[in-house]
Homo-oligomer: A and B are copies of this chain.
């Protein structure tokens, strides 16, 4: 859809996208109007359709933009030979948690409006969502190969539990209260990795 390439028009488009994120986060995708987005962006209703194909298309773009960044980080973490398995997992968790720290609205929209909508957006983007699981599973699988992690838990299973843990932590922040300090977020990453790798059993 992106028509022009003028600096100004790129900015306008961005402004609409950012406004959409705020509106989706506050009212939810299904309970907001396209006119809300236009108002929030300080732009005429019709302009939204100048830059985007549809309301759905805006959400798709918000999701993909963020998710692709995450997939890159997973890829990078998986390929970095210098890192231990724990550090790789921590790197991924840190990216997600810091994404929330910097752009809580974006992460709320990604998780709440896309990731869990089994019948609409979730189904549509399921393959992309799975890419993240696959990447995490590869990290686990390799570490099992070197004996760095135990071999009797299926990597795909471990990946799902790990990702589920992060997502639930973010969900509790979204629904309840977010950690105000960056240190609290870092602490969450450490505890998550420690829980998943070290386990809850006494040391």
Contacts and interface: CB of A to CB of B under 8 A. Distances in A.
Interface of A: 26-28, 30-31, 85, 108, 111-112, 115-120, 122-123, 126, 129-130, 133, 140, 147-150, 153-154, 157-158, 160-161, 163-169, 171-172, 174-176, 188, 191-192, 194-203
Contacts of A120: 28, 30-31
B200 A118 contact: no
Given A30-B30, A165-B164, A168-B167, A195 B126 contact: no
B194 A126 contact: no
In order of increasing CB-CB distance, the 4 nearest A-B pairs are A199-B199, A164-B168, A28-B119, A116-B116
Contacts of A166: 164
Given A160-B165, A161-B169, A153 B119 contact: no
A147 B195 contact: no
A149 B180 CA distance: 29
Nearest to A119: B28
A28 B117 contact: yes
A201 B133 contact: no
A163 B161 CA distance: 9
Most central of A27, A30, A168 by chain B CB within 10 Å: A168
A188 B158 CA distance: 11
30 contacts: A28-B117, A28-B118, A28-B119, A30-B30, A31-B119, A111-B116, A112-B122, A118-B171, A122-B175, A123-B175, A140-B200, A149-B202, A150-B200, A153-B194, A157-B169, A157-B191, A158-B195, A160-B165, A160-B169, A161-B165, A161-B168, A164-B164, A164-B168, A195-B196, A196-B196, A196-B200, A197-B199, A198-B199, A198-B201, A199-B199
